[in-house]
Amino acid sequence: MDLRLGQVILRNPRAPASEPQKTFTFDAVYDANSKQRDLYDESVRPLIDSVLAGFNGTIFAYGQTGTGKTYTMQGAWMDPEKRGVIPNAFDHIFTHISRSQSDKQYLVRASYLEIYREEIRDLLDPNHGTARALELRESPETGVYVRDLTSCVCKSIKEIEEVMNVGNQARAVGATDMNEHSN
Ligand SMILES: Nc1ncnc2c1ncn2[C@@H]1O[C@H](COP(=O)(O)OP(=O)(O)OP(=O)(O)O)[C@@H](O)[C@H]1O
């Protein structure tokens, strides 16, 4: 990895020395020594700032199992240096709201879903294990949305963390089911 050039360089160890390396260039590259805070400040903070200004924003973690998606997104909750994108974004959003002028109003709503075997499951629905899969819909006003997805209004970091914990527990049950099916 070349963090300065934003490049990931791949070499096949079994290939003959004459085979060229493959170089992929990105806007930014972070390796195992990168700091959560640097990733947030450089690559996430500008996106959340635009969301706070009224634009849409998406952060998408994609990769093979065990490559660090959960670590990057959630991190080690109790250690401020290891907190990932989600807790840093909660902090950023609610700090911004608390400091904003009184003529502005913000409404924060949180939903939490997972796509498991091509089906959408609502992790905030207490019956999600037995409920029917949710449907993806599109409307001219709001664009793509998930019909009947639970949405919780959150007024503080504590409230949104509670919503996330409920969803995380539903996820963990899903993972156990999956393990049982594969055994
Ligand atoms: N940058 C990092 N620094 C230290 N530890 C890390 C880092 N990234 C990942 N890890 C550790 O590597 C392991 C796998 O990471 P993680 O669980 O985040 O992967 P994942 O992509 O979410 O996997 P899965 O798709 O199976 O859920 C974890 O023990 C995690 O703590």
Ligand 1: does its nearest atom lie under 6 Å from the Cβ of 63?
yes
Q: Do 24 and 39 belong to one domain?
A: no
- What distance in Å separates the CA atoms of residue 80 and residue 105, rounded to the nearest whole number? 29
- What distance in Å separates the CA atoms of residue 89 and residue 103, rounded to the nearest whole number? 23
Contact, 129 vs 140, CB < 8 A? no
- Cα(20) to ligand 1 centroid in Å equals 30
Q: What is the mean pLDDT of the chain?
A: 91
Q: Which of ligand 1's atoms lies nearest the C-alpha of 76?
A: 31
The C-alpha torsion from 40 through 150 and 165 to 105, rounded to 10°, is 50
Q: Which of 70, 81, 83, 86 to mutate to test the pocket of ligand 1 (most atoms within 8 A of CB)?
A: 70
Q: Ramachandran region of residue 127, left (φ > 0), alpha (ψ -120 to 50) or beta? A: alpha
Q: What are phi and psi of 63, to 5 degrees?
A: 165, 170
Q: Do 96 and 162 belong to one domain?
A: no
Q: Which of ligand 1's atoms lies nearest the C-alpha of 31?
A: 1
Q: Do 162 and 182 belong to one domain?
A: yes
15 DSSP 8-state letter: S
Domain that holds residue 55: 35-104
| Integer CA distances (angstroms), 167 to 38, 68, 113, in order | 27, 19, 8
Please report the ipTM that was assigned to this predicted complex. Answer: 0.96
Tokens standing for residue 56 = 């849409």
Q: Do 114 and 180 belong to one domain?
A: yes
Q: Do 25 and 60 belong to one domain?
A: no
Give the annotated binding-site residues: 63-70
Last residue of a domain, one of 104, 134, 165: 104
Ligand 1: does its nearest atom lie under 6 Å from the Cβ of 32?
yes
Give this prediction's pTM: 0.86
- The lowest-confidence range among 90-99, 164-173, 174-183 is 174-183
Q: Do 43 and 76 belong to one domain?
A: yes
Q: Do 1 and 20 belong to one domain?
A: yes
Q: Do 172 and 136 belong to one domain?
A: yes
Q: Do 2 and 48 belong to one domain?
A: no
Residue 137: what pLDDT?
96
Domains contained in the chain, number: 3
Q: Do 146 and 119 belong to one domain?
A: yes
Give tens-digit pLDDT for 37-83.
999 999 999 999 999 999 999 999 999 999 999 999 999 888 999 99
Q: Do 82 and 16 belong to one domain?
A: no
Q: Do 121 and 182 belong to one domain?
A: yes
Residue 182: what pLDDT?
46
- What distance in Å separates the CA atoms of residue 30 and residue 8, rounded to the nearest whole number? 10
